[in-house]
Chains A and B, each alone.
Chain A
Amino acid sequence: MDENKVIICRCEDVTLKEIRDAIREGFTTVEEIKRVTRSGMGPCQGKTCGLLIAKEISQMTGKPMEEIELQSIRPPYGGITFEEVTKGTVMENDK
């Protein structure tokens, strides 16, 4: 199998080779691999690659899947304008 032709993260175009290289270099969490390869940073936010990367880590390190965490996920879940963020908010009852 040509690892260079297997895509793991479709949004950021990260190949199986890049993921395996990162694991070999000692990055053995999904979060670390995200930071060094950009996998999971695209529009789908790791929905495609997250599980595949976790499985790859499990296979290469022998760690069971149950012990592997997915990357952290933070709000916002999609794009918004800065204006919306900076406008500020009050509670409904406060007036």
Chain B
Amino acid sequence: MSKIQNLELLVVGGGPAGLSAALAAANYGIKVSLSEEREFLGGQLIKQTHRFFGSEKEYAGTRGIDILKKLIDEVNKNNNIEVLLSSRVLGIYEDNIVTILNDHKMKKYYPQSIIFATGASEKFLAFENNDLPGIFGAGAVQTLMNVYGVLPATNVLMIGSGNIGLIVSYQLLQAGVKVAAIVEAAPKIGGYSVHASKLRRLGVPILTSHTIKKAIGKEKVEGAVICELDSNWNEVKGTEQLIKCDAICLSVGLTPLVDLLKQRKVKTTYVSELGGYVPLRDENMETSIKNLFVAGDVSGIEEATAAMIEGQIAGLSVAKRIGKNSKDEIEERIEEAKNELELLRSGPVGKKIRKGLSKLGLNHGKNYNEKFSEEALDISHLMKTGVPSEENLKNKLPSEEKVFDKGPIAISECFQRFPCDPCVKSCLFNAISENANINNIPYVDFEKCTGCGICVSKCPGLAMFVIHKNFSETTSVVIMPYEFLPRPHKGEIVKVFDREGKYLCDGKVIRILDGKFQDKTAAVSIEIPKEYYLQARNFKVEEGNHG
């Protein structure tokens, strides 16, 4: 006969939210059991090779996989946390008994409190032939490439321009796969503009107000028929076009994985802004069942940074309830975390989340400054095309041409209000200011900027460039971020492109900063004819040049 084991806290799910929850509770003496279905911890972080946005405090500017290493390291060092790997929670029953399948055995636990951090699953799309081999979810593509090192295809059509669609497209290019186009049904790009811009610079078309009609192919995907949509989301007749590709990648959103919560009959409700059916919960992440908490995507789809903070809030709330001392200190921590969440969500991109949360009855009475959260610049063109307008650029360039005469200066091509600050935090000379709120648009103080180029490698959006207009009589130098292989050699001639990926001119590589500090985002100085210093924003290394 097997025994039912008592637990203080069971955390279900070893992703960013679950790890943060376990740590937050364990640090206040709570005995935590952390159950993870897979044979390793990390959740979605194990495939996030890109740098994170968000606040420095929550690891912004660091790559997802490196954030993960830090979290796992802390978890392993913590004696209060017992990690159960390859452990799938099979059931949670009305008396709160939880069964976990581990080593082919169904083990039974009776936890005092539970935090569900089960994450999300990918949404699927209904179109003709949507079961052909070669149709992938974006998460699957990312897992294949970044975890197992397997190329999914050679030429991919991406459906969906949210951050995941944009990030996976970029990672496909990094892996040497062609991205035929990014198709977006909405009239504007769903993800951050900086992600979209870096794809445009690489020549990938982003087709807003377009949708996929059907997949083409006999045995597997050979192409797709796409068409344009009008403002009522109806097909515009005569706009059908065939796109050749050998895979279609669906990135049409995530939906909270509430299955276990539904087993326990936690109250859920449909909130489209949060991705689908979400649990009702309070500001401390507690659901309609006492001592049953949620954290991360299962409570509503958001970014990993928010998931980590929610994990902390849930973990701390459990610690406060079970713990015998430090209650005031815990309460203070909870308040801090809540404030940080509020700040993250306070900009225009947080609007959707705020709306969704208010449908759950949350954050009422809190004063998000809706006036502040309006965009400061008109970025409609940028959000439709991924390319900034002349107006947008003018706003970020020095007002007087002669400022360029002072020497190299940094230019920030970041035009959207969203929670991100590594540029500000990385500059040793305090030359980038965003006026206290992490959602503000960064502006370079050209007086203070020395043109050192540190920010070029640190910006996760690859939106920082350094321009040395008067490098010589006839040439300028632009320092650009570069995340591809092969790396260029000093002295090499490369092809230089503009913000739409159009070829401009040839350029000469004169310096490469690619050390530990740059952490795989090299800062490459390219010498170009002077007339192009305001346009040259990307370059490609010709494969043939590297034997």
Tell me the A residues contacting B by CB distance below 8 Å. 1-2, 5-8, 10, 13, 16, 45, 47-49, 51-52, 54, 65-66, 68, 70, 72-78, 80-81, 84-85, 87-93
Given contacts A74-B91, A91-B110, list 9 more A-B pairs with CB under 8 A: A8-B126, A51-B124, A75-B99, A77-B89, A84-B106, A87-B2, A89-B1, A89-B3, A92-B3
Taking a contact as CB atoms under 8 Å apart, the answer to whether A75 and B91 are in contact is yes
B186 CB–A CB distance under 8 Å: no
- Give Cα A66 to B277, complex, Å: 9
Residues of B within 8 A of A (CB): 1-6, 88-93, 99, 101, 104-106, 108, 110, 121, 123-124, 126-131, 213-214, 255, 257, 259-260, 262-263, 268-270, 272, 276-277
Q: Which of A1, A48, A54, A88 contacts B124 (CB 8 A)?
A: A48
Is the CB–CB distance between B2 and A5 below 8 Å?
no
Rounded to whole angstroms, the CA-CA distance of A10 and B110 in the bound complex is 35
Nearest 5 interchain pairs by C-beta: A75-B91, A76-B90, A84-B106, A7-B131, A73-B262
Most chain B Cβ neighbours within 10 Å, of A2, A13, A73: A73
A78 to B270, CA, bound (A): 25
User: Known contacts A65-B270, A92-B4; is A75 also within 8 Å of B129 by CB?
Assistant: no
Q: Do A78 and B263 touch across chains, with their CB atoms under 8 A apart? A: no
Q: How far does the alpha carbon of A23 sit from the alpha carbon of B187 in the complex, in Å?
A: 31
> What are 13 inter-chain pairs, A to B, with CB distance below 8 A?
A13-B131, A47-B121, A47-B257, A51-B255, A51-B276, A68-B270, A73-B259, A75-B263, A76-B101, A78-B88, A81-B104, A89-B108, A91-B4
- Set of chain A residues within 8 Å of B255, measured between Cβ atoms: 51
- Name the residue in A7, A65, A75 with the highest tally of chain B Cβ atoms < 10 Å from its Cβ: A75
**Interface of chain B: mostly helix, strand, loop or mixed:** strand
Instruction: Tell me if B128 and A5 are in contact (CB < 8 A).
Output: yes
B106 touches A85 (CB 8 A): yes
Neighbouring B residues of A73 by C-beta, 8 Å: 259-260, 262-263
Q: Which residues of A contact B90 (CB under 8 A)?
A: 75-78, 80
A70 neighbours in B (Cβ, 8 Å): 262, 268, 277
Q: Is the CB of B124 within 8 A of A10?
A: yes
| A2 in contact with B128 (CB, 8 Å) | yes
> How near does chain B come to A85, taking the closest CB pair, in angstroms?
7
Chain B's closest residue to A65 (CB) is B270
Contacts of A66 in B (CB 8 A): 269-270
| A88: nearest chain-B partner, CB-CB | B1
Contact: B5 with A92, CB < 8 Å?
yes
